[in-house]
Structure 1
Amino acid sequence: MATKNLSILFVASEVEGLIKSGGLADVAKALPEALHTLQQDVRITLPAYQKMAGLDQAVTLLETSLDHWPHTEYAVKQLEVAGVPVYAIDCPQYYDRPEMYAENNQAYADNGERFAFFSAACLDMLPKLGFQPDIVHANDWHTGFVPYLLKHRYGNDEFFSATKSVLSIHNAVFKGVFSYDELQVLPEMHTRYAPDAAVSPTHVTMLRAGVLNADKINAVSPTYAEELKTELGSHGMAAEFQQRADDLVGILNGCDYSAWNPQTDSLLPANYKANRQSMVRGKKACKKELQQRVGLQTEDVAVYGMVCRLTNQKGIHYLLPILSDFLKHDVQVVIVGTGDPVLASQLKEIAAKHSDKFAFVEAYSNELAHLVEAGADFFIMPSEFEPCGLNQIYSMAYGTLPIVRGVGGLRDSVNDYDVDPQNATGFVFEQPEPYALLNVLQRSLLLYAQQPNEVKRVQLYAMGQNFCWNKAADEYLELYHTALNH
């Protein structure tokens, strides 16, 4: 592989350690950190949101305005995350608000303009800061205009002549659909003609602009990259992904074990490591604490945990119809999450009827999430689709066997017990049907009841899996070099 160290600008709408709403933020911290460890000159840029940690103390590197119309004034503030320099683009009219994307479940009306401006500013600032990246790495719809502008606005600009773009797809269900009128901050949209971004005579999608203009595209797991080429898996953009198939790869996300490691996890009542005695003792203490915390009987019974956003994407609608049937067995189920109020009320109803066996905690609690990962025997992730997924990887690290549907990153990271008992790390079901989920839950329970030693062997084997970021970072570097030789 080429040895030349690269300069990389990593462009994202959120970064763990500064501000976060989901998995994108985890990647936006961990991947640059891993690339930095590999001696690459990587820098991150994101909008300077009001709530961002450390913004008040940050040094202002640049006060300027866009070279292109509408010449919006902005500043660049410097922060750092995990040793990587961060450029926060400060423009109060867009980012000085209580939240990142939405308030009270209502998206900000000018989100198209806010992120189109961000895409323009993060390229505009580079010559002024004297940073000339080999690769600009954009992420999801918010930054879809970055590859677009690199090609259309800066295609003949000497400064960017050697710069290539990569776009990562973390979740293609969100596309950033806006009308030309909502994107007037970009002169390129004034003509109302942008065939490589448009989805109708009046609307464009930022994700499409990125997919059709990036030099290389990657999805956050190999299976998700394949799914994006299908109608069902791409949520309506199959043609674009098929068109770019030669430039599309799948790279499975790594896992940030610094936060998710049962040996060092300060949120657990007992730490444990991957040997049998330690694991059995540690998980027993964590199970007891979990049962007490959520008000279930402290008894030695199979505990099934689930921590997720309450949405159909996470497969709650496969679980609801069969949950009462499953609770007839000698089990306990703990679900922690917030989201769709309709799904939440259905879970509350079941919890009221089966309060001795089922606890539903309607909360977003990091502490409880760690306790569920450690205290449960099995972790339920029956997702409708899952580009990568992290909870199945955390679960394995904690010796908790994931029960997943065979889609996206779940298929790429979990080995099913019935298919290959020796190398198993969990259980996989295929059909998007409630009874397929009930069947796999019962399979796992049967193993737990009849072969407790075998379950412990599989749990230990799962704890030995390593999805570290170094491996993923190597694959990204290879992708960057392919883009440069494009």
Structure 2
Amino acid sequence: MKILFVVSEVEDLVKTGGLADVAKSLPLALRDLGHEVVIVMPYYQALAKQFSAAECTPPQTLFSDQLPYEFAIREIRLETLQVLCVDYPAFFDRKGLYSDDYHAYGDNAERFAFFAHAALKSAQAINFQPDIVHCNDWHTALTPYFLHIDDSGFFNKSRSIFTIHNGAYQGTHHFADIPYLRPHYQLREQLDGDALNFVRMGIRYANKINAVSPNYAQELLTPLGSHDLFYEFTQRRADVSGILNGCDYSQWDPINDPNIIKTYQAENFAGKAACKADLQRELDLPKEPTIPVIGMVCRLTEQKGFGFILPMLDKLMQHNVQLAIVGTGDPEICRYLHEMAQRFPQKFAFHQDFSVRKAHMIEAGSDFFLMPSLFEPCGLNQMYSLAYGTLPIVRAVGGLKDTVVDVADSPQSATGFVFSEPNHQALLACVERALLFYYEYPQQFTLTQKRGMQTRFTWQSAAKAYESLYVQALN
């Protein structure tokens, strides 16, 4: 099949989150299955600084309200993949991808409405006639609509897939603030008040809709988990499915990780103790090999469960434990974590920053990884944690429920600790259960660690599932 993969960011090119990981790994895995994949993304300022990408076609023009939008198409190679970059400086020659620090660009809707259309024009410009147009999150959610109204004949046999990586971000904007869409009366008739919801349009116009884990797909079909799009999802219930993301084990493997002080594997576990000591040194925590370390690396937001974490920190600090949190985000959460770290310097370390090296050190040096998310479409850190023999402590939502088996539910196949209720009491009880397991059952703890390291969530499996979804769309 010919697959046009439309996305706003790609690992190794530009990245703000997990979407970029998928946008590199999935196309590569689809290529390995024999499919021809072309990625389309915006040509951001950050890309222009990294690559001297040449124009691969003559200049292209789209018209809206009789106004011309002339843009260039530049080509970058990502391993063996062709990446087409839509170069429209007025929209993409900016410091950030979506925002300037914490302030989203006011014309994001205009920028990505244009990009959603320009992606199709780019495929047409290089004469790439896709069987599947695979769109990702709100930034590209209008591409199925533009495919639906296209009258060139070029895309007559093309079908669209809309993947929801995080349904909480929907691209809701006042229609009057999106000049590019003014002539599109079909969209005007589908406004919520005077606002256009990009994700809602993606759900309505795509041939198939999928989420990045089976459990998250089920949650989207419930009033509570649908992010206020329950009607839209239930109307398309037969076309909604979930495919679990894979994990890039070439980047996350303790056997050959250059970011950790000593490598290790399930059959030779000694290096993990050295990684724990190195993490304690890095974070100025007492070098105590027998005290369990709970690590956490994430964006500091309510979604990541800080509404549960902050109220239980005082009680957690009464236990014989060390807690290490690394990340940036909400200033109020940061302030509270700084205060707690000052109160409990022997037990709690908070570093308000992010680096790849520290993320790997946390995964390798911790005994547990804390991930009590309010919601989590798929999640990757719990997969990384399992690979490093670090037992996840998670809430039973989204992909966390699909990937972590609780010790109490199935001791013979357990890989971590899971709680359900969205409150700090349930989280604290789960953490205490994990600490009890660590102290009272050390042999079972080690066996569970090694079982986690032997668990694999591969992009090869995910790519085969997407292949089946594409065939369903074409049929």
Q: TM-score, normalised by structure 1?
A: 0.95
| Contact 2:4–2:123 (Cα < 8 Å) also in 1 | no
SS in 2 for 1:76: strand
Distance 1:124 1:264 in 2: 42
1:194 aligned onto 2:191: no
| Contact 2:14–2:20 (Cα < 8 Å) also in 1 | yes
Distance 2:361 2:377 in 1: 25
Distance 1:248 1:103 in 2: 34
Matches within 5 A, 1:250-265: 250-265=242-257
Unaligned runs of 5+ in 1: 1-5
Distance 1:434 1:23 in 2: 26
Residue in 1 aligned with 2:179?
Answer: 184
Distance 1:192 1:463 in 2: 51
Residue in 2 aligned with 1:290?
Answer: 279
Report the RMSD for the aligned CA atoms in angstroms: 1.2
1:65: Cα distance to partner? 2.9
Q: 1:322 aligns with which of 312, 322, 331?
A: 312
160-169 or 78-87, which deviates more? 78-87
Q: Spell out, residue by residue over 1:321-373, the C-alpha distance to the aligned partner (whole angstroms, 9 max, x if none).
A: 11121111111110001100101111111111110111011111211110000
Q: 2:336 aligns with which of 330, 346, 359?
A: 346
1:188: Cα distance to partner? 3.9
1:104 aligned onto 2:101: yes
Unaligned runs of 5+ in 2: none
1:299 aligned onto 2:288: yes
Q: 1:219 aligns with which of 205, 211, 216?
A: 211
Amino acid paired to 1:344: C
Q: Spell out, residue by residue over 1:112-144, the C-alpha distance to the aligned partner (whole angstroms, 9 max, x if none).
A: 110011011111122221110000000000001
230-239 or 281-290, which deviates more? 230-239
| Contact 1:223–1:412 (Cα < 8 Å) also in 2 | yes
Q: Spell out, residue by residue over 1:211-255, the C-alpha distance to the aligned partner (whole angstroms, 9 max, x if none).
A: 100000100000100111122211110110111110010000000
Matches within 5 A, 1:132-143: 132-143=129-140
Distance 1:15 1:269 in 2: 29
Q: 1:308 aligns with which of 298, 303, 314?
A: 298
Matches within 5 A, 1:52-451: 52=47, 56-69=51-64, 70-152=67-149, 154=150, 156-189=151-184, 191=185, 194-195=188-189, 197-200=190-193, 202-275=194-267, 278-279=268-269, 281-300=270-289, 301-451=291-441
Amino acid paired to 2:137: D
| Contact 2:2–2:36 (Cα < 8 Å) also in 1 | yes
413-422 or 63-72, which deviates more? 63-72
Distance 1:198 1:30 in 2: 35
Distance 1:188 1:484 in 2: 30
Amino acid paired to 1:198: L
Amino acid paired to 2:281: Q
Distance 1:114 1:340 in 2: 26
Report runs of 4+ in structure 1 exceeding 3 Å deviation.
Answer: 53-56, 191-195
1:187: Cα distance to partner? 4.8
Instruction: Give the direction of change, closer, same or farther, for the CA distance of 1:90–1:38 in structure 2 (3 Å limit).
Output: same
Amino acid paired to 1:209: M
SS in 2 for 1:62: coil
SS in 1 for 2:359: helix
Instruction: Give the direction of change, closer, same or farther, for the CA distance of 1:92–1:67 in structure 2 (3 Å limit).
Output: closer
Residue in 2 aligned with 1:15?
Answer: 10
Residue in 2 aligned with 1:480?
Answer: 470
Amino acid paired to 1:460: K
1:462: Cα distance to partner? 0.5
Instruction: Give the direction of change, closer, same or farther, for the CA distance of 1:427–1:53 in structure 2 (3 Å limit).
Output: farther
| Contact 1:54–1:79 (Cα < 8 Å) also in 2 | no
How many percent identity over aligned positions?
46
Instruction: Give the direction of change, closer, same or farther, for the CA distance of 1:220–1:188 in structure 2 (3 Å limit).
Output: farther
Instruction: Give the direction of change, closer, same or farther, for the CA distance of 1:453–1:105 in structure 2 (3 Å limit).
Output: same
1:68: Cα distance to partner? 3.3
| Contact 1:141–1:207 (Cα < 8 Å) also in 2 | yes
Instruction: Give the direction of change, closer, same or farther, for the CA distance of 1:57–1:28 in structure 2 (3 Å limit).
Output: same
Amino acid paired to 1:63: P
